[in-house]
Amino acid sequence: MNNKIEKCIQCDQPTDRAGIHEDSLYLDNGEGPLCLDCYQESHILELETERDALRARVKDLEEHVAEIHAKMDRIMKIANGNNFGSVEGLVKVREIIREPEPPEEQ
Protein backbone atom coordinates (compact mmCIF):
# COMPACT_ATOMS: atom_id res chain seq x y z
CA MET A 1 0.00 0.00 0.00
CA ASN A 2 1.35 3.41 -1.01
CA ASN A 3 0.88 6.03 1.73
CA LYS A 4 2.70 8.76 -0.15
CA ILE A 5 0.57 11.90 -0.48
CA GLU A 6 0.63 13.32 -3.96
CA LYS A 7 1.30 17.06 -4.00
CA CYS A 8 0.60 19.68 -6.63
CA ILE A 9 3.74 20.80 -8.45
CA GLN A 10 2.48 24.41 -8.52
CA CYS A 11 1.11 25.10 -5.03
CA ASP A 12 2.61 22.12 -3.12
CA GLN A 13 -0.79 21.27 -1.61
CA PRO A 14 -2.14 17.71 -1.62
CA THR A 15 -3.90 16.91 -4.89
CA ASP A 16 -6.60 14.87 -3.10
CA ARG A 17 -6.13 12.20 -5.78
CA ALA A 18 -5.69 8.47 -5.37
CA GLY A 19 -2.03 8.52 -6.18
CA ILE A 20 0.59 9.06 -8.77
CA HIS A 21 -0.73 8.31 -12.28
CA GLU A 22 -4.01 6.74 -11.12
CA ASP A 23 -6.42 9.64 -11.45
CA SER A 24 -3.93 12.46 -11.17
CA LEU A 25 -4.45 15.64 -13.14
CA TYR A 26 -1.86 16.47 -15.81
CA LEU A 27 -1.86 19.12 -18.49
CA ASP A 28 -1.66 18.22 -22.17
CA ASN A 29 2.05 19.10 -22.13
CA GLY A 30 2.65 16.48 -19.39
CA GLU A 31 2.98 18.96 -16.52
CA GLY A 32 1.62 17.60 -13.27
CA PRO A 33 0.39 16.30 -10.97
CA LEU A 34 -1.83 19.27 -10.16
CA CYS A 35 -4.58 19.97 -7.68
CA LEU A 36 -7.96 20.76 -9.21
CA ASP A 37 -7.63 24.54 -8.76
CA CYS A 38 -4.17 24.73 -10.34
CA TYR A 39 -5.23 22.34 -13.10
CA GLN A 40 -8.21 24.50 -14.02
CA GLU A 41 -6.16 27.71 -13.99
CA SER A 42 -3.34 26.16 -16.03
CA HIS A 43 -5.70 24.46 -18.45
CA ILE A 44 -7.47 27.77 -19.08
CA LEU A 45 -4.10 29.36 -19.85
CA GLU A 46 -3.27 26.51 -22.25
CA LEU A 47 -6.60 26.95 -24.02
CA GLU A 48 -6.21 30.73 -24.20
CA THR A 49 -2.76 30.32 -25.75
CA GLU A 50 -4.13 27.87 -28.31
CA ARG A 51 -7.05 30.21 -29.04
CA ASP A 52 -4.70 33.15 -29.60
CA ALA A 53 -2.55 31.11 -31.98
CA LEU A 54 -5.65 30.05 -33.93
CA ARG A 55 -6.89 33.64 -34.12
CA ALA A 56 -3.51 34.73 -35.52
CA ARG A 57 -3.67 31.94 -38.11
CA VAL A 58 -7.20 32.96 -39.13
CA LYS A 59 -6.02 36.56 -39.54
CA ASP A 60 -3.13 35.40 -41.74
CA LEU A 61 -5.49 33.31 -43.87
CA GLU A 62 -7.95 36.18 -44.21
CA GLU A 63 -5.15 38.44 -45.42
CA HIS A 64 -4.06 35.81 -47.92
CA VAL A 65 -7.62 35.44 -49.21
CA ALA A 66 -7.83 39.23 -49.61
CA GLU A 67 -4.62 39.16 -51.69
CA ILE A 68 -6.07 36.40 -53.88
CA HIS A 69 -9.29 38.39 -54.35
CA ALA A 70 -7.29 41.45 -55.38
CA LYS A 71 -5.40 39.39 -57.97
CA MET A 72 -8.64 37.88 -59.25
CA ASP A 73 -10.16 41.36 -59.60
CA ARG A 74 -7.20 42.45 -61.71
CA ILE A 75 -7.49 39.31 -63.85
CA MET A 76 -11.22 39.86 -64.34
CA LYS A 77 -10.59 43.43 -65.52
CA ILE A 78 -8.31 42.02 -68.21
CA ALA A 79 -10.98 39.44 -69.13
CA ASN A 80 -13.76 42.04 -69.23
CA GLY A 81 -11.63 44.25 -71.45
CA ASN A 82 -11.73 41.49 -74.08
CA ASN A 83 -7.98 41.34 -73.79
CA PHE A 84 -8.02 37.89 -72.23
CA GLY A 85 -7.50 35.96 -75.43
CA SER A 86 -4.64 38.09 -76.65
CA VAL A 87 -1.03 37.30 -75.99
CA GLU A 88 -0.67 40.59 -74.11
CA GLY A 89 -3.65 39.76 -71.90
CA LEU A 90 -2.30 36.31 -71.10
CA VAL A 91 1.11 37.76 -70.30
CA LYS A 92 -0.52 40.24 -67.87
CA VAL A 93 -2.48 37.42 -66.22
CA ARG A 94 0.68 35.35 -65.86
CA GLU A 95 2.51 38.32 -64.33
CA ILE A 96 -0.30 38.84 -61.81
CA ILE A 97 -0.33 35.17 -60.84
CA ARG A 98 3.44 35.02 -60.50
CA GLU A 99 3.74 38.12 -58.34
CA PRO A 100 5.82 37.21 -55.33
CA GLU A 101 4.07 36.83 -52.03
CA PRO A 102 5.07 39.38 -49.40
CA PRO A 103 7.57 38.00 -46.88
CA GLU A 104 5.97 36.38 -43.84
CA GLU A 105 6.33 38.22 -40.57
CA GLN A 106 8.06 36.32 -37.82
> Tens of pLDDT along 42-62?
989 989 999 999 999 999 999
Q: What is the pTM of this model?
A: 0.54
Q: Which of these, 51, 53, 66, 54, lies nearest to 102 by C-alpha position?
A: 66
Res 1 pLDDT > 50: no
Percent of the chain that is helix, strand, coil (3-state, to 5):
55, 5, 40
* pLDDT, averaged across the chain: 81
Q: What is the pLDDT of residues 62-82, one digit of tens each?
A: 999 998 888 888 777 776 665
The pLDDT of residue 20: 57
